[in-house]
Amino acid sequence: MAADDGHEVDLLVLGAGPAGLFAAYYAGFRGLSVAIVDALPEAGGQITAMYPEKMIFDVAGLPAVRGRDLVASLVAQADSGAPTWLLGRQARTLLTLPDGRLRMGLADGVLIDARAVLITAGLGEFRPRPLPGAGERVGGSVLHFVPQPRTHEGEDVVVVGGGDSAFDWAAALHPLARSVTLVHRRARFRAHPAMVRDVRERGVSIITDAEVAELVDGPAGLSEVVIRFADGEIRTLPAQRVIAALGFVADLGPIESWGIDVAQRTIPVDSTMRTSRELIYAAGDVTSYPGKVRLIATGFGEAATAVNNIAVALDPAAHLFPGHSTQA
């Protein structure tokens, strides 16, 4: 198989979120060659896409760590095993070859042959819920994510939504933007009460029982947002940027056609993290089993469990316990 047509590795990791990145490191530690595939153009999964500036509190040994900093450390750790990075590439097909290897086909035609596959796909393929009336502004004056808050210095920003992401973006942008206004169609929020309280205390303007009725362009692009309240009142806000944090529609996409048992958009696994299909394992938020708790910390443990069991499946003479990674 030519290098530009495909790759051959011991383990293919599908998903470059925290669980996938730690799995790639651990596979390298076990001496396995690895390829990492993710539809997103950057590593980090949901953290990079949705809350890079948010402080994360459930990583052992770190009282608090900013999302983007955690991802940077995980990427550096994964790089120690010299994985093949295939980011911005969508997985489409998964076949078992006559020799027992697994062949994954990507949307661009590239093929990856692997002795085992570990699915760490998180929510699967997720698409932001659209802001009505945004049209062709999406990606310009209307955004779903804020990967670089500093690019919005001096702007008037309207954040639409009432969940954690909306409040995260409002908190991150408040010290930088000229003004930040959060608009939500209800008086109650889905966001954690502590985050709501924090944003209020920062002085962010919060408008409830209202929706964006119209986006108004000026000579240089978006200039105003028209807000319509539930009682019919109309108000106009200055805005050069709208952050539409309205949630996501998620599904497992092609994974559901790969002959793996799927239940309620998750993949059931056993105690080794093996799926219903030979040599295909899963870890992280995509998995389900009795007592499952969806935390980043849980995903790290599942990734290590999966990789160690994969190492034994590929070489029955190998030990399940590899020794401590602190040993030379």
Quickly state the pLDDT bin for 327 (edges 50, 70, 90): low
The parent domain of residue 267 ranges over: 6-126+249-314
Segment 302-315 mean pLDDT:
97
- The per-residue pLDDT for 124 is 74
CA angle 297, 303, 306 (to 5 degrees): 145
Domain final residue, candidates 213, 229, 246: 246
Asked if residue 73 belongs to a domain, the reply is yes
Task: Give the mean pLDDT of 246-263.
Answer: 88
Give the integer Cα–Cα distance in Å for 213 and 206: 17
Query: Which tokens hold the place of 150?
Result: 């500093």
Rounded to an integer, the average pLDDT of 178-195 is: 94
- Are 212 and 173 contained in the same domain? yes
Q: Can you name the residues that pair with 218 across neighbouring β-strands? A: 221
pLDDT for residue 4 is more than 80: no
Q: How confident is the model at residue 46 (pLDDT cuts 50, 70, 90)?
A: confident
Phi and psi, residue 266, nearest 5°: -130, 165
* Domain-terminating residue out of 231, 246, 261: 246
Query: Tell me, what's the pLDDT at 1?
Result: 47
Residue where one domain finishes, among candidates 206, 225, 246? 246
Full-model pTM:
0.79
* 126 labeled binding residue: yes
Residue type, 305: T
CA distance 151 to 286: 33
Convert the pLDDT of each residue in 64-84 to its tens digit. 999 989 999 999 999 999 999
Q: Is 91 annotated as a binding residue?
A: yes
99-103's contacts with Cβ under 8 Å and 24+ in sequence apart are 100/279, 102/12, 102/279, 102/280
Amino acid 3: pLDDT: 47
Domain match, 239 and 258 both: no
Rounded Cα gap, residues 23 and 153, in angstroms: 37
Query: How far apart are alpha carbons 291 and 58 in whole angstroms?
Result: 18
Q: Tell me if 90 is assigned to a ligand binding site.
A: no
What is the number of alpha carbons within 13 Å of residue 39 lying toward its C-beta? 19
The answer to whether the annotation marks 51 as part of a ligand binding site is yes
Whole-angstrom Cα distance, residue 152 to residue 135? 21
Condensed to tens digits (0 to 9), the pLDDT of residues 212-233 reads 999 999 998 999 999 999 999 9
Looking up tokens 């948010």 gives 54
Residue 47 — pLDDT band, cuts 50, 70, 90? confident
Residues 261-266 have a mean pLDDT of 92
Cα 115 from chain centre: 26
Dihedral, 13, 14, 19, 23 alpha carbons, nearest 10: 0
Instruction: Tell me whether residue 46 is annotated as binding.
Output: yes
User: 34-48, 67-81, 248-262, 313-327: which range is least confident on average?
Assistant: 313-327
**Three-state DSSP state, 26:** helix
> Is 126 strand, coil or helix?
strand
Lowest-pLDDT range of 10-14, 117-121, 127-131: 127-131
Q: Say whether pLDDT at 112 is over 50.
A: yes
pLDDT band at 6 (very low <50, low <70, confident <90, very high): confident
* Residues 241 and 257 occupy one common structural domain: no
The CATH number linked to 186 is: 3.50.50.60
Total number of domains constituting the chain: 2
| 164 lies in the same domain as 255 | no
Mean pLDDT of 269-283: 97
Nearest to 243 by CA among 179, 189, 288: 179
How high is the pLDDT of residue 149? 87
